[in-house]
Structure 1
Amino acid sequence: MLSTYQYPEYAYVPPAALKAGGTEKRPAVVIGAGPVGLTAALDLAAHGVPVVVLDDNNTVSIGSRAVCYAKRALEVWDRLGCAGPMVDKGVRWKIGKVFRDEDLVYQFDLLPEPDHKMPAFINLQQYYLEETLVDRAQALGELVDLRWKNRVTALDSRDDGVTLTVETPDGPYTLEADWVIACDGAKSDVRGMIGARFDGQAFNDRFLIADVVMKADFPTERWFWFDPPFHRNQSVLLHKQADDVWRIDFQLGWDADPEEEKKPEKVLPRLKAMLGEDTDFELEWVSVYQFNCRRMDKFRHGRLFFAGDAAHQVSPFGARGANSGVQDTDNLAWKLGLVVAGKAPESLLDTYDDERVLAADDNLLNSTRSTDFITPKSAISRAFRDATLDLARDLPFARGLVNSGRLSLPTPYVGSRLNTPDRDAFQGRMAPGCPAADAPLTVDGRDSWLLDHLGGCFTLLYFSPDGTVPEALTAFEQDPVPVKVLAVGTPRIADAKGVVTQRYDGRPGTLYLIRPDQYVAARFRAFDPRLVRIALDTACGKG
């Protein structure tokens, strides 16, 4: 098969512990150098925590694998300094279209409002994304120690840390870590080592992925067909990726033989039926997959944490796998950073379990519903699905019932114990527990974005009524917990388009407390130092 991508090979370097013959001790270790593990490492480093990353390979993922990355994940990577190359290389899109047979049933827009820095989605082969993350990690020097061909073969988890046995081409060594994050995928060896359950539902259906290199005039949109004329009684999904590579998913049914279906003599007729006999294309990558929807009971096990597919697995419909894994690390890293620095109690880390198990259940629910709609398992379910598609052509209410994959959105933590409930009346979506919405700003006379100034530490977003900032408010910047003040409506920072004020219902005097992961923790109609102190302590797990 044609391969347009040259896979990098990263150098294996014998760890110093092999030569010294002793046990190495580190504050944090991440297991797995996929998108989730690399993001975890970058985020820990951003919070001042040196991290070792262990991976049993020495290159990026083979094949395009995950390709759809949502706005929230891009915002996380932007905060970590590496979204630019991804967005530049990837294919931006926000429109999805759903067809039945040859007819358009309806279309949707994933970002209907303007004035956001990041696009709704990009499509980018996972190997490009991982290479960008590796480049960023290497640029951080000693803060991120990437160790290739280092495979964890055993672990001992205790109250005061985790001891890892690591196998290398030169033999084993022992690595002691205060904290460990397992990001080693759906078949997680680490999860097996502790005997944790991974329960859920397996779906008896198979899908063929074909990455096709071709010049085509399809728009950069997500197209999904139910019962198309070129693949009767099944579904098909089409996406464009970088380098004129097109991702095509064919539903095969449970009786399909995975090894047979991957053979060119089986794949090429399907593609020609869809694209036309005269279309010039080449295969880059082919795979057949079955999917599961399941999760661990809990994601924190003492000083060992699980993130991404190691913690939860969903079907690919909705692009909720890698995107939710990135949000796992976004939630965990700042909390671990505060605990390591002695600025928050260890109990803060329990809220990782609270908030990300909630998010996993949200993703599992949406993923399962999508899968049930796409692959109905009974005559009644199929009749409902087909009737919904018939009605959706003409009736708007039915379009909301069509489910070709509810695409990834961040889960609000509305019931989190880190939130301070509203005391005042507010309009709009920026309630405690919700991710902060982006908006344009003017800073020192230059165009900027709100999210460029949020995240990494706590932020007090203040809507100044008179162009000044109270001294008692700026005093919070001297707090032991890192806090900064962002005052809109001052000579330095202007809401040039009025969008920040509109999205945050920012009447004069309004104050928001934003968490380091860019989630709203509290909001008030007027600045009261006592209430801000209580909200900050609550958001740090001290409440």
Structure 2
Amino acid sequence: MGRRHTRGGTVTVVGNGPVGQTTALLLARWGIPVTLLDARAERDPIGSKAICQQRDVLEVWDAIGVGRQLADEGVTWGCARTFHRDHELFAQTFVDRGISSFPPFVNISQARTEELLDERIAATPSIDVRWGYEATSVDQDETGVTITCRTGSGEETVTSDYAVVAVGSRGSAIRRQLGVTFDGRSFDDKFLICDIAADIPGWADERRFYFDPEWNPGRQVLIHPCPDSTFRIDWQVPGEYDLEAEEKSGALDARIRKIIGDTDYRIVWKSVYRFHSRVANRMRVDRVLLAGDAAHIVSPFGARGLNSGVADAENAAWKLAFVLRGWAGESLLETYHTERHAAAVENIAVTTATMDFLVPQSEDQHRHRRHVLTAAVTDPEARARVDSGRLAEPFWYVESPVTTIDPQRPFAGRPERGCTPAAAPGILVPDTPVTLQGGAGSRLRAIARHGILLLVGDGVDVDEIRSAALDTVHTPIRLVRLSEIDSTGVLTAALDAKPGEVWVIRPDAYVAAVTDTVDGLMSALRRVTLQ
């Protein structure tokens, strides 16, 4: 038996992929020491993998120092075009209710994302990275978590107060130990993915989705631009598809040339996947939280995999930090499961509907698809029923126990694709530039991510609100008058904020409550921290 590590307000993160990396960096940002384990001996930067990063995820990464560089290095796009054969059906753009400093989506390889996150981790002394630590068992009691690992020198145990398991889709053994099921379905058709280095004018700043093109009849093709004149091309192929045989016969080259013509190209990476749609029945088991693909896997049409995993990471990190720092009751951790499991179920519903349209499972679904695609060429109503993947968006925590519902701002349900709900409790607050005391410039979400933020409207007694807040909870609270930080009125308009209101913003920049009474504020703060 190897050495045993002592506890002390610590978290072990199992899995050093982008979700685990993000979790570790966010915890370190809150002052929580982290041990970051991975079964691999070293990083394996092969292939583009998860390439499509959504605006709000870039803002999370910006809080840990990599969002801006990822956006600058990646290919930005704000238009998603969908075609049926040679007819363009629609071009989807994306609504920003605020004035974000990031584009709707940025394409950059997962390998580069991991590289930048590794650099930040290397510069963070409170994160202890251990490669070659394969977690073989997870045990816990009322005092902490013990993870037994197989290493090159034998067996070692790592102990901590809590653990986050972010081992990707390879988490079956740990899920079984925790008594967690992973129900769902798998899809028969496969998808061939190739990263192609080529010069294709006009395709460098938009996502293109083709139903039934002449170069893949009866199936789909998705094309994403990536940095360095590289394009990610996904072909839907039959379940019996053999990549090795197609490559040897020259048919793979012919497949690519049908799309790009005589243009010179080079295959940077290629792979074949069969997609799955599964979600864990529990994302929290006592002191262990599941995150990312260890908790949910979805088809990539909609870019909801890594983007939702980063949202898991932020949700887990601030709640673990608040519990470990004594700022919230331990029951706050149960809301991690409540909120992120609901988000996972929503992603499963959205992506399963997409896959049923892309890969019909019955004659009725085939008939529906043929009718919709044929009609969509001329009928706008039919175009709205074409499902080429509802692209990643933040989930809304309107039914969370942490959220105080405002009857004046009811949630209208899932918005149209490309849109976001109006600002209200349970919704990610719109981001806008703000001006701080002394004239320094910042952004709303940046100042929100340091604790609980109170945005105070005109007509509110700031001293009374501050006193009530400090008497109610013992957590970092920042109180700012809305009119003083919003000199242009853009933020006030984005919130549709009224005089006399106080907006309570969570540490992950979600609106927790809107209230116009001191009692309402105190109740909302207790709800956020479950004190």
Q: Tell me how far apart the structure 2 counterparts of residues 171 and 259 of structure 1 sit (CA, whole Å).
A: 38
Structure 2: give runs of 5+ residues left out of the alignment: 412-420
1:486-529 Cα shifts (integer Å, max 9, x gaps): 32212xx2332x221111112223210001111111002x3x33
Q: Tell me how far apart the structure 2 counterparts of residues 22 and 540 of structure 1 sit (CA, whole Å).
A: 33
- What SS does structure 2 have at the residue aligned with 1:460? strand
Q: 1:339 aligns with which of 299, 311, 323?
A: 323
Task: In structure 1, give the amino acid aligned to 2:304.
Answer: R
Q: Tell me how far apart the structure 1 counterparts of residues 245 and 452 of structure 2 sit (CA, whole Å).
A: 54
Deviation at 1:432, TM superposition (A): 1.1
Question: Structure 1 stretch 476-485 or stretch 206-215: which is displaced more?
Answer: 476-485
Q: Tell me how far apart the structure 1 counterparts of residues 20 and 440 of structure 2 sit (CA, whole Å).
A: 35
Q: After superposition, where does 1:187-266 map in structure 2 within 5 Å?
A: 187-188=170-171, 189-217=173-201, 218-261=203-246, 265-266=250-251
Q: Is 1:41 equivalent to 2:30 in the alignment? A: no
Deviation at 1:154, TM superposition (A): 2.3
Does the Cα contact within 8 Å between 1:64 and 1:126 map onto a contact in 2?
Answer: yes
Q: Tell me how far apart the structure 2 counterparts of residues 157 and 25 of structure 1 sit (CA, whole Å).
A: 13
* Partner of residue 273, structure 1: 258
* Partner of residue 173, structure 1: 156
Task: In structure 2, give the amino acid aligned to 1:83.
Answer: G
- What SS does structure 2 have at the residue aligned with 1:186? helix
Cα distance change, pair 269–114 in 1 and its aligned pair in 2 (3 A)? farther
* Partner of residue 87, structure 1: 71
Deviation at 1:261, TM superposition (A): 4.7
1:158-194 Cα shifts (integer Å, max 9, x gaps): 2322211122223322111211100001121422443
* Partner of residue 480, structure 1: 474
Does the Cα contact within 8 Å between 2:98 and 2:490 map onto a contact in 1?
Answer: no
Q: Tell me how far apart the structure 2 counterparts of residues 447 and 391 of structure 1 sit (CA, whole Å).
A: 50
Q: Tell me how far apart the structure 1 counterparts of residues 393 and 409 of structure 2 sit (CA, whole Å).
A: 26
* Partner of residue 470, structure 1: 462
* Partner of residue 418, structure 1: 402
Cα distance change, pair 219–173 in 1 and its aligned pair in 2 (3 A)? closer
Does the Cα contact within 8 Å between 1:186 and 1:313 map onto a contact in 2?
Answer: yes
Q: Tell me how far apart the structure 2 counterparts of residues 169 and 33 of structure 1 sit (CA, whole Å).
A: 18
Q: Tell me how far apart the structure 1 counterparts of residues 357 and 216 of structure 2 sit (CA, whole Å).
A: 17
* Partner of residue 430, structure 1: 423
Does the Cα contact within 8 Å between 2:98 and 2:494 map onto a contact in 1?
Answer: no
1:448-486 Cα shifts (integer Å, max 9, x gaps): 322222123110012335xx9622234446852111113
Deviation at 1:342, TM superposition (A): 1.9
Cα distance change, pair 460–23 in 1 and its aligned pair in 2 (3 A)? closer
Q: After superposition, where does 1:280-299 map in structure 2 within 5 Å?
A: 280-299=264-283
* Partner of residue 417, structure 2: none
Deviation at 1:345, TM superposition (A): 1.4
Cα distance change, pair 81–462 in 1 and its aligned pair in 2 (3 A)? farther
Deviation at 1:24, TM superposition (A): 4.2
Does the Cα contact within 8 Å between 2:194 and 2:233 map onto a contact in 1?
Answer: yes
Q: Is 1:125 equivalent to 2:73 in the alignment? A: no
Does the Cα contact within 8 Å between 2:48 and 2:111 map onto a contact in 1?
Answer: yes
1:348-377 Cα shifts (integer Å, max 9, x gaps): 111111111110010000000000111112
Q: 1:439 aligns with which of 432, 435, 439?
A: 432
Cα distance change, pair 340–66 in 1 and its aligned pair in 2 (3 A)? same
Q: Tell me how far apart the structure 2 counterparts of residues 284 and 461 of structure 1 sit (CA, whole Å).
A: 49
Deviation at 1:338, TM superposition (A): 1.2
**Aligned residue pairs, count:** 515
Cα distance change, pair 300–426 in 1 and its aligned pair in 2 (3 A)? closer
Cα distance change, pair 22–318 in 1 and its aligned pair in 2 (3 A)? closer
Deviation at 1:203, TM superposition (A): 0.7
Deviation at 1:262, TM superposition (A): 6.0
Cα distance change, pair 264–248 in 1 and its aligned pair in 2 (3 A)? farther
Q: Is 1:367 equivalent to 2:351 in the alignment? A: yes
Q: Is 1:534 equivalent to 2:519 in the alignment? A: no
- What SS does structure 1 have at the residue aligned with 2:250? helix
* Partner of residue 159, structure 1: 142
- What SS does structure 2 have at the residue aligned with 1:298? coil
Q: Is 1:380 equivalent to 2:395 in the alignment? A: no
* Partner of residue 7, structure 1: none
Deviation at 1:122, TM superposition (A): 0.5
Q: After superposition, where does 1:83-122 map in structure 2 within 5 Å?
A: 83-111=67-95, 115-122=99-106
* Partner of residue 9, structure 1: none
Cα distance change, pair 107–344 in 1 and its aligned pair in 2 (3 A)? same
Cα distance change, pair 69–107 in 1 and its aligned pair in 2 (3 A)? same
Task: In structure 2, give the amino acid aligned to 1:413.
Answer: Y
* Partner of residue 14, structure 2: 31
Question: Structure 1 stretch 343-352 or stretch 157-166: which is displaced more?
Answer: 157-166
Cα distance change, pair 90–102 in 1 and its aligned pair in 2 (3 A)? same
Structure 1: give runs of 5+ residues left out of the alignment: 1-16
Q: Tell me how far apart the structure 2 counterparts of residues 110 and 216 of structure 1 sit (CA, whole Å).
A: 24
* Partner of residue 4, structure 1: none
Task: In structure 2, give the amino acid aligned to 1:222.
Answer: R
Q: Tell me how far apart the structure 2 counterparts of residues 469 and 266 of structure 1 sit (CA, whole Å).
A: 73
Cα distance change, pair 414–173 in 1 and its aligned pair in 2 (3 A)? same
Task: In structure 2, give the amino acid aligned to 1:248.
Answer: I
Q: So what's the TM-score if we normalise by structure 2? A: 0.92
Deviation at 1:266, TM superposition (A): 3.7
Q: 2:169 aligns with which of 162, 176, 186?
A: 186
Q: Tell me how far apart the structure 2 counterparts of residues 40 and 425 of structure 1 sit (CA, whole Å).
A: 32
Q: So what's the TM-score if we normalise by structure 1? A: 0.90
Deviation at 1:274, TM superposition (A): 1.1
Cα distance change, pair 226–367 in 1 and its aligned pair in 2 (3 A)? same
